[in-house]
Amino acid sequence: MTRISALVVDDEPLARRNLTLLLSDDPEIGSIEECASGAEAVAAIQRRQPDLLFLDVQMPECDGFDVLELLGTDLPRTIIFVTAHDHYALRAFEAGALDYLLKPFDDARFTRMLARAKEKIALHASRQQAPRRLVVKGLSQLHFINVSDVDWVEAADYYSCLHVGRETHLIRRTMAELERDLGDNFTRIHRSAIVNLDRVQGLELQSNGEHEIILKSGRCLRLSRRYRKQVRERLGAA
């Protein structure tokens, strides 16, 4: 069994400690990290990609909703808002929260919430096997595209654009969803692009210090500094 990674975000040390202690009693919880601010939380989520996020609403400078806005589509799959104010509940659920813990809460309420969270995480894990093909809906027909044939994926507003040889296909999936679902052979190279590692021909250093990914098709794509280390490791060039 893969143990669950959790991140607790609250500017009050006592509140963080309370959640951490409750989580540590559950054998299915593995790592637990704490953040005291929204800015810390954004960096930690991007670095660790936790399974389970406990997020306080009211924090100075960068509150819980600011954290989600800064993350864009790169959100943890399971988000629990924790706050002493009940009037944020509707906004929390609209933001994709699984649950809303109102302080102070008792152990029974926490246990019910955690059970729901673990069910959601387990359901996602059971679906983690990468699909062999993607279904793209056209105006009058469905296109079935083998995942292995996709060269790279590009962000396109509320859609993503699949580049398959000389063809392009719009699919109503977010970049974050595709990054999770396409499998280990694909990796993000910047916020707006994911590449198939089998389609990478080379990595080129530009005169301005930037790097570019060169695909076998001849297409050159910018490699952002944020993803440079992980891409080089995936390509065996670290």
CATH number of the domain residue 202 falls in: 2.40.50.1020
**Total number of domains in the chain:** 2
User: Do both 64 and 155 map to the same domain?
Assistant: no
**pLDDT tens digits, one per residue of 76-108:** 889 999 999 888 898 888 888 999 999 999 999
Whether residue 53 is found in the same domain as residue 69: yes
Model pLDDT, residue 216: 93
Instruction: Return the ∠ at Cα 31 (arms to 92 and 103), rounded to 5°.
Output: 35
Q: Which of 77, 92, 126 corresponds to the end of one domain? A: 126
Q: Assess whether 184 and 98 both reside in one domain.
A: no
DSSP E strand stretches across 3-114 = 4-9, 29-35, 52-56, 78-83, 99-102
pLDDT recorded at residue 127: 56
Domain boundary, last residue among 126, 147, 166? 126
Domain holding 91, by residue range, is 4-126
Q: Which pLDDT belongs to residue 49? A: 87
- Whether 164 and 214 share a structural domain: yes
pLDDT at residue number 230: 84
Residue numbers in the chain where pLDDT is lower than 50: none
Q: Which long-range contacts (CB under 8 A, 24 or more apart) does 88-96 make?
A: 88/57, 91/65, 92/57, 92/64, 95/65, 95/68, 96/68
Q: Which of 94, 110, 126 is the last residue of a domain?
A: 126
